[in-house]
Amino acid sequence: MESAARTTTTTTHIALVSIPAFSHQVSILEFAKRLLNLHNNTFNITCIIPTLNSSYNNIATKPFFDSLPPNIHCIFLPSVYFEDLNNNGVSVEIQIQLSVSRAMPSVRETLRSLFDATNNVVAIVADAMVPEALDFGKELGILSYIYFPCSTMLLSLCLHSSNLDEQVSCEYRDHPNLIEIPGCISIYGRDLPNSVQNRSSLEYKLFLQRCQRYRSAHDGILVNSFMELEEEATKAITQHAKGNGNCSYPPVYPIGPITHTGPSDPKSGCECLLWLDKQPPNSVLYVSFGSGGTLCQEQINELALGLELSRHKFLWVNLRAPNDRASATYFSDGGLVDDPLHFLPLGFIERTKGQGLVMCGWAPQVEVLGHKSIGAFLTHCGWNSVLESVVHGVPMMAWPLFAEQRTNAALVTDGLKVAVRPNVDTSGNSVVVKEEIVKLIKSLMEGLVGEEIRRRMKELQKFAECAVMKDGSSTRTICKLAHKWKSLGRP
């Protein structure tokens, strides 16, 4: 374990606790960077990160951590025992939850060491997957917050989960009516997160326990969204926070959009950026299923043929070997292969030469979405990707795979109306055929539907820009927190 002590001229120390998932690490550390930028580096921040394996020293992660400002220090804990969880029978959510729980003694020891070494830690901010860390804040007598890297809609669902559990007797996916979420659009039960789809499972029990801990986060929950994006959901939680007794919710602080601003590896993505430079404005469909998403072989074939038959230009990145498990590579950089011809339709690369580019490796998503040639984004609807799409004003084709991605897809499609979504059966697991893919691409890139979606997305982009301006809603919220924390620091 790295030493928690460090020499610094700053006066106020904040401790962060993340999880072994790069997307979560990026989100909470980008928040830390924004906090420092707004307050002239008057904070010292330590992020404690449990680890599972050595995959976090790969090409995608190392440049990000190497670029962190000197006031942010990361402590990577020794890997926990993980082999019994890393198999096809255990979901991503359970793997994260149980593995992080096993790391809690090390987290507690590190926090105590940090507190003793600096004598000036005033607050702990813990990722939403590790609410247990709030107990350590109470032990140390410091403020304790949850960092919620997902939507306010999902947070509202989490805070409402115990009520929902009592109201609905069947499996949510079998519920005949729409599920009501305070302050949000109503959605079908099949669009609730994977963790609630089997109510007799350990996964669901852990979800309910985690959500109950959120209610005890009395100092507040920092959510990576912004008022103008999810105003009604924020108001619903805030109104409930004013209640009395055990039924009240904690204060909620919308501090987003927090998105990836770190540099990309100079050797990663050069090919795709050079290719994009040669394409007409707004002409390319960007296709990415995130850092861990995988498709089955049949779906890869249908998607490839749909892209080809649409005759629209496309950039398909992070292509992985087929797998029937959507989250097969969530914890690693495995699954990437050197030659896409091994599992793409025969002749696809040759036939689409000039029309598209397929990459098996990482791509600099922020730079790609900000490129003038990008016209739309086929996305798995991870919240980081959704926010990046909003920040750059890029319309979406929502293609959720696992975790809370279907809930996000419902939000951007039916709530914000800035995305189209393939039709699937009630199980949500059917293969989307090439004809449906062609229809959606054309509607998004050519038709009146696409024009209206693009108009709405440009409006959201402006709201996102305003939220992070000097007097923007999210900037004011972060400053409010910062002033409170600095008032507790020692000179």
Separation of alpha carbons 439 and 310, rounded Å? 8
Q: Would you state the pLDDT for residue 306?
A: 98
Per residue of the chain (491 residues), give pLDDT as tens. 443 434 444 479 999 999 988 999 999 999 999 999 999 879 999 999 998 764 444 556 788 999 999 999 999 998 876 666 655 567 777 778 888 889 999 999 999 999 999 878 999 999 999 999 999 999 999 999 999 999 999 999 999 999 999 999 999 999 999 999 999 999 999 999 999 999 999 999 999 999 999 998 999 999 999 999 999 999 999 998 766 555 689 999 999 999 998 665 555 568 899 999 999 999 999 999 998 888 999 999 999 999 999 999 999 999 988 987 665 455 554 444 456 568 999 999 999 999 999 998 888 999 999 999 999 999 999 999 999 999 999 999 999 999 999 999 999 999 999 999 998 754 455 899 999 999 999 999 998 999 999 999 999 999 999 999 999 999 999 999 999 999 997 65
Tell me which H or E stretch contains 144.
strand 143-148
Instruction: Identify the active-site residue in 13, 73, 127, 260.
Output: 127
- The reply to whether 127 belongs to the active site is yes
| Cα torsion angle, 203, 209, 215, 221, sign | negative
Q: CB neighbours of 118 closer than 8 A, spacing ≥ 6?
A: 4, 5, 13, 44
Task: Give CA angle at 437 (400, 354), nearest 5°.
Answer: 110
Neighbours of 448 (CB within 10 A): 8
What tokens were used for 63?
């440049």
- Tell me what pLDDT residue 292 has: 80
Q: Which pLDDT score is estimated for 333?
A: 47
Give the bridge partners for 123, in sequence order. 14, 143
Select 12-256+469-488's CATH number: 3.40.50.2000, 3.40.630.30, 3.40.50.1950, 3.40.50.2300.
Answer: 3.40.50.2000
CB of 190 within 8 A of CB of 166? no
Provide the β-strand partners of residue 420. Answer: 397
Amino acid 382 reads G
The DSSP element (H or E) to which 123 belongs, if any, is: strand 121-127
Which residues fall within 8 angstroms of residue 184, CB to CB, at 6 or more apart? 153, 156, 157, 230, 232, 233, 236, 411, 415
The residues that bridge with 76 in the sheet, in sequence order, are: 49
Please report where in the chains the tokens 């397929």 appear, as a residue.
358
pLDDT score, position 6: 41
Closest CA relative to residue 263, chosen from 40, 65, 38, 45: 65
339 tagged catalytic: no
Task: Note the pLDDT of residue 99.
Answer: 82
**Using CA atoms, how far apart are residues 469 and 447, in angstroms rounded to an integer?**
34
Among residues 138, 146, 134, 13, which one has the least CA distance to residue 73?
13
Tokens linked to 72: 């942010």
Segments of 181-272 assigned E as strands: 221-223, 252-254
Q: Distance between CA atoms of 2 and 354, rounded to whole angstroms?
A: 49
Alpha helix locations (H) across 311-447? 348-351, 365-369, 383-392, 405-410, 434-445
- CATH number of the domain at 270-465, please? 3.40.50.2000
Give the residue range(s) of CATH 3.40.50.2000 domains in the chain. 12-256+469-488, 270-465
Under 8 Å between Cβ of 141 and 124? no
Catalytic residue among 13, 24, 73, 371: 24
Could you give the C-alpha distances from 453 to 4, 186, 418, in angstroms and in order?
48, 21, 5
Residue 29, both tokens: 């550390």
